[in-house]
Structure 1
Amino acid sequence: MAILGIDIGGSGVKGAPVDTVRGELLADRFRVPTPQPADVTSVADAVAEVAGQFSGYDGVGVTFPGVVVDGVTRSAANVDKSWLDAPAARVFSERLGRPVSVLNDADAAGVAEVAFGAGHDERGLVMMLTFGTGIGSALFLDGTLLPNTEFGHLELDGHDAERRASDRAREQEDLSFQDWAPRVQRYLRHVEMLLSPRLFIVGGGVSKKADKWLPLIDIRTPIVPATLLNNAGIIGAAVTAEQAGGHPGAVRTEADRPGAENVAAGAHEG
């Protein structure tokens, strides 16, 4: 069964139909630049342009770079302020003419990694962190998503942690990996102190260069790079849409066990 996954990022909106049983894209991704300003109408147009490249899918999942509760976007840190309290699921559904599930972008990447990637079959508390424009976080307990965590905004040295340890901070300050890694390590040790996770999974664009900086990180918690890379958001959005729609053949993760839907309900709108 094919579900269309669309990932809204700071620089691009990309999507593809997904085989949610195998966690694989069924076609090459199609990408358009994220409009500037990234207001509700222009982003909806971009999502529609991506969706218009494909046919034959049974549902749509969309990621959003902010907090999403019951299909409503509650924060807009890196997009236009018109997204504050916008009924995103309804906006996209009306624009595409079919039901759409919307969830936080880091949560979507985590859903994919837990279902098919580095977090598959991991028990206990697992944390996905994406290092990019900011720091996104996704938290799972025995495979169940605890949606809308915002651990990139933890205060560290008087600043939002992502202002010091995101990949954008590395690029803006022209830091070598040797100079950037201690910032990431300090951040991870802080999160480690608060949560004592079993595993960190690191994603985002910089995860493709994990061999250059992960060996420089000295923490107690095991830390591994994400395996699905740039496809994680698309795959996680599709998996969430299928679970929300109750389609036969939906991927069964721990999040589907009885009662777990009450925990994860805030991540999407059915």
Structure 2
Amino acid sequence: MGKHGFGIDIGGSGIKGAPVDLRRGKLADDRFRVPTPQPATPDAVAATVREVLDHFKWDGVFGCTFPAVVQHGLVRTAANVDPAWIGTDAHKLLGKATGRDALVVNDADAAGLAEVRFGAAKDRDGVILVSTLGTGIGSALVMDGCLVPNTELGHVEIDGHDAESRAADSAREREDLSWKNWAARLTRYFQHMEALFWPDLIVVGGGVSKQADQWLHLVDVRTEMVPAKLLNNAGIVGAAVLAAEQGGGKS
């Protein structure tokens, strides 16, 4: 694996990318951001991804996050992007549109792996659960450094509800919950995750992790729980690392 890789983070509102120092887990240049095209069809997004790569004159393999279940390059779901993505071979699409080898991964998986390699879970063994609390609840499950892809643990049913509909940060804002009341919902969610996976460490990310001092101590779990460190750069870093290690997707 070389010293530098390239990562792109496709989101509902913006597509961001930058070269990444693979040894330090840090961006090697300022991020370049382009608004996500509307509608976010496969061809429109692919053209925007090429724009980001061309901005940096990057011509090697690159990694790309996507807000969906991505199984061996095939997009199985679509959140905040056009439903036309479902069934699309993202590796083939982006490879053809950009002229570079691409590896496409679930956005929470990329961010979670970055936290394990370079962030809050660095040098920790065992089962690590990384949860991103935002519009929904993203999840990454890593065992001794190996990623279990597409866990989608925000959609586990708890007390008759899709978990993220009650415990995501968007639910806190929508219902104007106090930190204490929101933490009670997080306690219910994470205790359920503990019963399923018995993690050795839980890392919580998302924008609200910047305010962890307001609520983290109120979540009653037996597992050590810490805030994420890489924040908005985690997806870019994780995607670049996975692409460098796997050499791009196989279409």
TM score, norm. by length of structure 1: 0.87
Q: 7-16 vs 60-69, which deviates more? A: 7-16
Query: Which residue of 1 is the match for residue 47 of structure 2?
Result: 45
Map 1:100-179 to 2 at 5 A.
100-179=102-181
Q: CA deviation at 1:232?
A: 0.4
Q: Residues 129-171 of structure 1, C-alpha deviation per residue, up to 9 Å, x if partnerless?
A: 1111211111111111111111110001222111111112222
For 2:19, the equivalent position in structure 1 comes to 17
2:7 corresponds to which of 5, 8, 11: 5
Alignment map for 1:121-270 (pairs within 5 Å): 121-245=123-247, 269=250
- Equivalent pair of 1:163/1:169 in contact (CA under 8 Å): yes
Query: Is the contact between residue 61 and residue 238 of structure 1 (CA under 8 Å) also seen in structure 2?
Result: yes
> Which runs of no fewer than 5 residues in structure 1 stay unpaired?
247-267
Question: Contact 2:129–2:201 at 8 Å: present in 1 too?
Answer: yes
- Structure 1, residues 102-125: CA drift from partner, whole Å, max 9, x if none? 111111011111111111121111
Q: Distance in 2 between matches of 1:73 and 1:236?
A: 18
Instruction: Specify whether residues 169 and 269 from structure 1 end up closer, same or farther in structure 2 by C-alpha distance, changes over 3 A only.
Output: farther
Alpha-carbon offset, residue 18 of structure 1: 0.4
> Is residue 60–residue 101 contact of structure 2 (8 Å, CA) maintained in 1?
no
Query: Retained in 1: the 8 A contact 2:5–2:20?
Result: yes
The 1-side partners of 2:49 and 2:174 are apart by: 29
Count of matched residue positions in the alignment of Structure 1 and Structure 2: 249
- Tell me the distance in 2 between the aligned counterparts of 1:104 and 1:165: 21
CA pair 87-56 structure 1, distance change in 2 beyond 3 A: closer
Query: Take 1:102 and 1:201, find their aligned partners in 2: how far apart are those partners?
Result: 23
2:11 touches 2:80 (CA, 8 Å); kept in 1? no
Contact 1:4 1:57 (8 Å CA) reproduced: no
Partner AA of 2:154 in structure 1: G
Q: What is the alpha-carbon distance in structure 2 between the residues aligned to residue 167 and residue 145 of structure 1?
A: 25
1:83-102 aligned within 5 A:
83-102=85-104
Residue correspondence of structure 1 range 21-100 to structure 2 within 5 A: 21-56=23-58, 58-100=60-102
Partner SS, residue 53 of structure 1: helix
- Percent identity between matched residues is 58
Give the deviation of 1:57 after TM superposition.
5.4
Decide whether the 8 Å contact of 2:205 with 2:228 is kept in 1.
Answer: yes
Aligned-pair Cα RMSD in Å: 1.6
Give how far 1:46 is off: 2.5
- Taking the aligned partners of 2:204 and 2:14, their CA distance within structure 1 comes to 20
The 2-side partners of 1:89 and 1:25 are apart by 23
Q: Give unpaired runs (5+ residues) of structure 2.
A: none
The residue number in structure 2 matching 1:261 is none
> Residues 63 and 239 of structure 2 are in contact (CA less than 8 Å); yes or no, is this contact kept in structure 1?
yes
